């Protein structure tokens, strides 16, 4: 039986794994492992990911450019999802990108009562094993151009299983934490980014390599990966 998570991720968030199954950290460098630990465990408790085909659908008031941007993200992230297929569909999607034409979903949501209205948010529906059944992404109607697609990339990562945010600083560009740039040129380049950063892609790939079961806890992860 599916249930909707009460908390909503905001832009402004079957078997136990044996240690012998854990891959060497040489493939995923220290920053990737640390970033994964910061962003993949929802409420510091569990992992979530898709275990069935992902059918992406655009709804609402979207342009041909919006549609192409979604298609670009699908093509970009497909190699990181292992054997989980992902495609863009016209209807009956389970990964729905809502390009909103009004503020009803933003202004009347109890989750935002004590916060500023966000630029976008993602509402997941999971089963009891923490597998995604559906993801709904909402993009604020006032957003245009670069900011709109930055928010889209951010929420896309949430909807693929990076369910949290990090308040820590990373040297590599990322969407869900903070970045320390080497110089002003690197910062300016990030403002015109068109793709999901490598750090986010590697964290998603780590999630979908299926070495970690969905009931693997953050505490176990920290012992196995971060305490060494």
| DSSP codes joined into one string, 46-111 | B--B--S-EEEEEEES--HHHHHHHHHHHHHHGGGSTT--EEEESSS-SEEEEE-SSSHHHHT-GG
Each domain of the chain, given as residue ranges in start order, spans 3-10+30-226
Residue 147 has pLDDT above 70, yes or no: yes
Q: How far apart are CA 122 and CA 176, in angstroms?
A: 13
Residue 155 has pLDDT above 70, yes or no: yes
Q: How far apart are CA 186 and CA 219, in angstroms?
A: 34
CATH no., domain 3-10+30-226: 3.40.390.10
Q: List all residues 6 or more positions away from 130 whose beta carbon is below 8 Å from its beta carbon.
A: 46, 47, 48, 214, 215
pLDDT in the model for residue 168 = 86
DSSP 140: -
Residue 10 has pLDDT above 50, yes or no: no
When pLDDT is averaged across residues 164-179 and rounded to a whole number, the result is: 87
Residue 6 has pLDDT above 80, yes or no: no
Q: How far apart are CA 17 and CA 9, in angstroms?
A: 27
Q: How far apart are CA 16 and CA 130, in angstroms?
A: 14
When pLDDT is averaged across residues 80-107 and rounded to a whole number, the result is: 91
Helix-strand-coil split of the chain, %, nearest 5: 35, 20, 45
Q: What is the pLDDT of residues 55-92, one digit of tens each?
A: 999 999 999 999 999 999 999 999 999 999 999 999 99
Mean pLDDT lowest among 67-81, 194-208, 212-226: 212-226
Each residue of 38-48: b (16+ CB within 10 Å) or e?
bbbbbeeebbb
Please say whether the beta carbons of 19 and 49 come within 8 A: no
Q: What is the pLDDT of residues 113-122, one digit of tens each?
A: 555 556 889 9
pTM of the complete model = 0.82
Q: List all residues 6 or more positions away from 87 whose beta carbon is below 8 Å from its beta carbon.
A: 53, 54, 55, 56, 74
């Amino acid at each position: 039986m599916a249930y909707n998570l009460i908390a909503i991720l905001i832009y402004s968030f079957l078997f136990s794994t044996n240690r012998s199954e854990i891959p060497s950290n040489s493939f995923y460098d220290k920053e990737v492992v640390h970033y994964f630990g910061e962003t993949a465990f929802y409420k510091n408790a569990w992992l979530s990911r898709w275990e069935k085909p992902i059918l992406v659908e655009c709804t609402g008031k979207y342009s041909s450019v919006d549609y192409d941007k979604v298609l670009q993200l699908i093509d970009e992230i497909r190699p990181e999802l292992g054997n989980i297929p992902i495609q863009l569909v016209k209807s009956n999607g389970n990964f729905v990108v809502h390009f909103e034409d009004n503020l009803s979903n933003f202004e009347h949501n109890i989750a935002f009562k004590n916060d500023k209205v966000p630029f976008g948010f993602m509402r997941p529906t999971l089963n009891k094993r923490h597998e995604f059944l559906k993801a709904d992404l909402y993009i604020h109607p006032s957003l245009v151009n670069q900011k709109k697609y930055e928010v889209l990339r951010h929420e896309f990562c949430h909807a693929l299983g990076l369910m949290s945010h990090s308040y820590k600083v990373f040297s590599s560009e990322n969407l869900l934490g903070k970045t320390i740039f080497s110089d002003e040129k690197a910062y300016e380049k990030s403002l015109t980014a068109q793709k999901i950063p490598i750090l986010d892609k590697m964290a998603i790939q780590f999630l979908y390599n299926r070495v970690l079961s969905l009931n693997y806890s953050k505490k176990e992860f920290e012992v196995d990966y971060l305490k060494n």
